[in-house]
């Protein structure tokens, strides 16, 4: 069976994930991913018709809290970690640049 | 190694310090918190060059905190059990105003803006944080070789890995560079390094401990837990960090009590331990097999009942995990965009757009394993492949959960090896990612199902103080949800019989 992943798909995925890859990295990752995906074929042997997916780490039910006013003790925290900032705001380059897609 | 008699004595005392013995010594004024904290820093500065357990130290903060504890002792205040206890913290757990790199170059300059929920709880207990420990980048790995900064050596054999991803925390405790530590466990990252380093590691029940302030890897799997020298210490540290936190919606109110560290033998004897066939496959490392056999004999001497059980979907846990985990990773690590946290230095080009910054920061700042898993996760979630991979894996996760539910109708606790082998050599598995993934084969199921599980060193495998070439091997006890008390009780009685027989 041909691997579901090839160089073109890898480049597309890296772009979606916003990862710049060198040609050498591309080559290595492609080989690794093809190998790893091969191991996943095992799962197709299992019949999972009618099996409900487990979607989280627990089967506990959600509990809602009262919707009341709360003071956010972390308000403003994190601003100092911004690489670029101005007056307590996060500073970024234009979201839509000429060379953006 | 040259060591003065004075520092040998200090070493000896650090070697014997547990949370319990530290507390007793502190309140009876045998030593001060400051004295012990200073001794730890001295020992770290001498020894960590060879081990590489720490990424950064918190010397000023720790010494000040120790002074405050000593003032409380002098005023005869009643002190919590963890007061003054010098701890090591995995570097993916935030402590306000200290670095938190998660082992990634991309966060090299990041300073935490707040303290994690577990850190706030430990601060209110007056615990002391010596520093932040090494890990595989974002906790992805089983050897700590994926750290963006340096590797960590196994204290029992410097040519071998300490395990991972909490390898720094496990090595720090094993090399007496902290009394105890915190790690995080997503697929075995507390238990496997604890096993490799000959210390105790507890992966807590999903929802028992707050993850607020833990740099998220896979949110349906991650748990914080203790790495300690004794099971009793693990119980005490666990009790201190457990409980509800309004900033982690998955963390629930718990009512853990004294049974955690003060178990009764009659209660332990009423438990049945299951031995799952699938965890003792043909070809399991002979040393591991033999060591586990000894544990079973020891526990039988306590008159605990054993029963053979089956967890039929065990072999599917590894592929299931390596679909679900990367999927969650690809989403969680999207936040590291070079905009909100720190940004790596841009040597190459004058970035013009947001997109340039994202591509470059993530391309330069992330290591190979991180990229591999992000792309894998992006793939299994992408349209056309979602059903075949992600959905399928979630269904298989249900089957694995059902296996455990059935097993827990018959038994109370499940005993297995922690890892298929003892610590492997540095570099041995780096080139083949799947062989690295296989080292977590026995620890992953507990994460998929959210169960508590503890790794306990097998006494006969612990290296003698004179060396002798032995490598530690651990055994694992898996319990029902929120029944840490059962696995910790058996572990404490195991330690008691081993202490009396040696």
SS3 content of chain A, % helix, strand, coil (to 5): 35, 5, 60
Q: Chain A contacts of B347, Cβ < 8 Å?
A: none
Q: Which of B355, B356, B393 to mutate to test the interface with A (most CBs of A within 10 A)?
A: B355
Return the CATH number at A39.
1.10.20
Q: Say if residue A101's pLDDT is above 50.
A: no
Query: Could you read off the pLDDT of B56-74 as tens digits, one per residue?
Result: 999 999 999 999 999 999 9
The pLDDT value given to residue A99: 52
Residue B93 CB coordination number (10 Å):
27
- Å from B337 to nearest chain A CA? 9
Question: Facing residues of B149 across strands?
Answer: none
Q: How many domains, chain A? A: 1
Q: Provide the pLDDT confidence category of residue A61 given band limits of 50, 70 and 90.
A: confident
The pLDDT value given to residue B180: 98
The verdict on a CB contact (< 8 Å) between A19 and B359 is yes
Q: Chain A contacts of B376, Cβ < 8 Å?
A: 33, 36
Q: Chain A contacts of B366, Cβ < 8 Å?
A: 19
Q: In this structure, are residues B236 and B125 in contact, taking their beta carbons and an 8 Å threshold? A: no
Q: Provide the pLDDT confidence category of residue A1 given band limits of 50, 70 and 90.
A: low
Q: Region A83-87: what's the mean pLDDT?
A: 85
Could you tell me if A88 lies within 8 Å of chain B, comparing CB atoms?
no
Below-50 pLDDT ranges, chain B: 1-5, 7-8
Give the chain A residue whose CA is nearest to the CA of B369: A29
- Å from B323 to nearest chain A CA? 8
Which range marks the domain in which residue A18 is found? 7-45
Give the chain A residue whose CA is nearest to the CA of B338: A83
Distance between CA A60 and CA B136 in Å, rounded? 31
The pLDDT value given to residue B53: 98
Q: Chain A contacts of B431, Cβ < 8 Å?
A: none
Residue A13 resides in a domain = yes
The pLDDT value given to residue B155: 96
The pLDDT value given to residue B262: 96
Q: Region A1-30: what's the mean pLDDT?
A: 93
Give the chain B residue whose CA is nearest to the CA of A91: B339
What would the CATH number be for the domain defined by B5-270+413-501?
Answer: 3.90.1300.10
The pLDDT value given to residue B348: 59
Q: Chain A contacts of B320, Cβ < 8 Å?
A: 43
The pLDDT value given to residue B282: 87
Distance between CA B359 and CA B357 in Å, rounded? 6
The pLDDT value given to residue B212: 97
- The catalytic residues of B are 90, 165, 189
Residue A19 resides in a domain = yes
What is the count of residue pairs from A and B with beta carbons less than 8 Å apart?
167
- Å from B430 to nearest chain A CA? 12
B3 token code pair: 């060591």
The pLDDT value given to residue A55: 87
Residue A20 resides in a domain = yes
Residue A86 resides in a domain = no
Q: Say if residue A78's pLDDT is above 90.
A: no
Q: Are strands B223-228 and B200-203 parallel, antiparallel or unpaired?
A: antiparallel
**Can you give the pTM of this predicted structure?**
0.95
- Å from A36 to nearest chain B CA? 7
């Amino acid at each position: 069976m041909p691997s579901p992943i090839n160089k073109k798909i890898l480049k597309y995925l890296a772009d979606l994930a916003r990862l710049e890859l060198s040609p050498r990295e591309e080559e290595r990752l492609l080989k690794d991913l093809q190998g790893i995906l091969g191991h996943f074929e095992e799962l197709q042997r299992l019949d999972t018709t009618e099996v409900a997916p487990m979607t989280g780490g627990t089967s506990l039910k959600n509990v809602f809290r009262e919707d009341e006013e709360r003071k956010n003790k972390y308000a403003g925290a994190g601003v100092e970690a911004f690489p670029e900032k101005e007056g307590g705001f996060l500073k970024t380059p234009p979201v839509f640049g000429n060379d953006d897609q | 190694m040259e060591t003065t008699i004075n520092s040998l004595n200090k070493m000896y005392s650090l070697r014997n310090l547990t949370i319990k013995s530290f507390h007793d010594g502190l309140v009876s004024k045998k030593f001060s918190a400051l004295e012990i904290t200073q001794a730890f820093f001295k020992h770290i500065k001498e020894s960590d060059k060879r081990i590489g357990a720490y990424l950064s130290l918190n010397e000023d903060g720790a010494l000040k905190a120790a002074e405050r504890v000593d003032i409380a002792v002098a005023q005869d205040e009643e002190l919590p059990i963890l007061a003054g206890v010098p701890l090591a913290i995995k570097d993916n757990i935030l402590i306000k105003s200290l670095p938190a790199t998660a082992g990634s170059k991309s966060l090299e300059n990041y300073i935490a803006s707040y303290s994690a929920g577990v850190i706030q709880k430990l601060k209110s207990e007056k615990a002391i944080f010596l520093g932040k420990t090494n890990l595989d980048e974002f906790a992805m790995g089983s050897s700590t070789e994926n750290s963006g900064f340096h590797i960590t050596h196994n204290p029992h054999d410097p040519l071998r890995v300490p395990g991972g991803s909490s390898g720094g925390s496990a090595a720090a405790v094993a090399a007496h560079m902290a009394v105890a530590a915190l790690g995080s466990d997503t697929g075995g990252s507390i238990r496997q390094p604890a096993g490799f380093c000959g210390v105790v590691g507890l992966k807590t029940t999903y929802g028992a401990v707050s993850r607020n302030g833990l740099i998220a890897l896979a949110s349906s799997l991650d748990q914080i837990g203790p790495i300690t020298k004794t099971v009793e210490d693990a119980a005490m540290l666990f009790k201190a960090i457990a409980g509800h936190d309004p900033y982690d919606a998955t963390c629930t109110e718990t009512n853990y009590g004294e049974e955690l560290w003060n178990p009764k033998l009659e209660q332990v004897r009423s438990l049945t331990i299951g031995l799952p066939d699938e965890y003792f496959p043909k070809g399991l490392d002979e040393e591991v097999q033999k060591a586990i056999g000894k544990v079973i004999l020891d526990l039988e001497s306590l008159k605990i009942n054993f029963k053979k059980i089956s967890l039929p979907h065990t072999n599917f846990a590894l592929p299931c995990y390596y679909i679900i985990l990367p999927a969650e990773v690809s989403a969680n690590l999207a936040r590291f965009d070079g905009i909100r946290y720190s940004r790596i230095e841009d040597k190459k080009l004058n970035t013009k757009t947001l997109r340039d910054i994202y591509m470059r920061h993530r391309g330069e700042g992330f290591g190979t394993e991180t990229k591999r898993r992000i792309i894998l996760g992006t793939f299994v979630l992408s349209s056309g492949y979602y059903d075949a991979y992600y959905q399928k894996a979630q269904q298989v996760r249900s089957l694995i959960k059902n296996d455990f539910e059935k097993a827990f109708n018959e038994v109370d606790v499940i005993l297995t090896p922690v890892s298929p082998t003892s610590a492997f050599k540095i570099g041995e598995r780096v080139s083949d990612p799947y062989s690295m993934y296989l080292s977590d084969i026995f620890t992953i199921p507990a994460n998929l199902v959210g169960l508590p599980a503890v790794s306990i060193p097998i006494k006969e495998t612990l290296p003698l103080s004179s060396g002798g070439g032995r490598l530690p091997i651990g055994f694992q006890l898996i319990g029902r949800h929120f029944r840490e008390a059962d696995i910790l009780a058996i572990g404490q009685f195991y330690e008691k019989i081993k202490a009396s027989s040696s």
